[in-house]
Amino acid sequence: MIQRMGSDAPEAPCTVVLVGFMGAGKSTVGRLLARRLGLCFVETDDMITAREGTSIPEIFTERGEAHFRALEASVLDALGDKHGHVIATGGGFPCRPGVMERLKALGTVVWLAAEFDALYERESRVGGRPMLAGRSREEAAALYEVRKASYSQAHLAVDVSRLGADAAVSRILRYLRERERAKRQAAGVGSRPIP
Ligand code: S3P
């Protein structure tokens, strides 16, 4: 039995997938959201490091980006077992052809969007991201622009440029409740109030 902690959590167990550029706060928001929904939380990067027994920067250094992307592809195949989870993906995870469609088939996909400057400032503070090593600010901005085409296919975009993690979670919960209510109405299932 899944225990729901927040009184504003939607009724049905669901899978939520967070996508977005590095620095968007997918891990923080994902963890909080999972707690509010009473769901498990998983990160695709953690699935990769657990399988490989080594860190993401080491994978990039020793095996290269192409190898890392192949590992992401195999993790995508395994995500079907993660029903009823909140899943935080790596920044490049949804950006290969066909991946967004597959993520949307798993559940609700949420893009944590932000202005590039806000993301870059956060990324620079934290550091340790192989995709930014050796890239100028302009090159990183260009990468974000290209990736937006994938991220923007999400069911919901939440602009986190000036939004804290709690507010982002509230926005996602509101969307899940509204979506559930619409589904119930479409199915003609009474008007049981959703907390
Ligand atoms: C990557 C983002 C990282 C990680 C890897 C590659 C990317 O995840 O998957 O370093 O290509 O943008 P975060 O978005 O959690 O930093």
* pLDDT tens profile 140-169: 999 999 999 999 999 999 999 999 999 999
Ligand 1, atom 16, lies closest to the CA of 22
Cβ 94 vs Cβ 111: under 8 Å: no
Which amino acid belongs to residue 18? L
Sequence-ordered list of residues with C-beta below 8 angstroms from that of 104, at least 6 positions apart, any chain: 153, 154, 155
The dihedrals phi and psi of 65, each to the nearest 5 degrees, come to -65, -40
Atom of ligand 1 nearest to the CA of 21: 14
User: For residue 194, what pLDDT is reported?
Assistant: 36
The dihedrals phi and psi of 92, each to the nearest 5 degrees, come to -95, -5
CA of 86 to the centre of ligand 1 (A): 17
Convert the pLDDT of each residue in 58-82 to its tens digit: 999 999 999 999 999 999 999 998 8
CA of 113 to the centre of ligand 1 (A): 15
Q: Which residues line ligand 1 (CB under 6 A)?
A: 22, 26, 45, 56, 90-92, 129-131
- Residues of the chain with confidence (pLDDT) below 50: 1-6, 193-195
CA of 168 to the centre of ligand 1 (A): 20
DSSP class of residue 92 equals: T
Q: State both tokens at 54.
A: 């080594």
User: For residue 82, what pLDDT is reported?
Assistant: 85
Q: State both tokens at 173.
A: 């919960």
Separation of alpha carbons 63 and 86, rounded Å: 29
The dihedrals phi and psi of 16, each to the nearest 5 degrees, come to -125, 130
* Rounded (10°) angle between helices 26-37 and 165-186: 50
pTM of the predicted protein model: 0.91
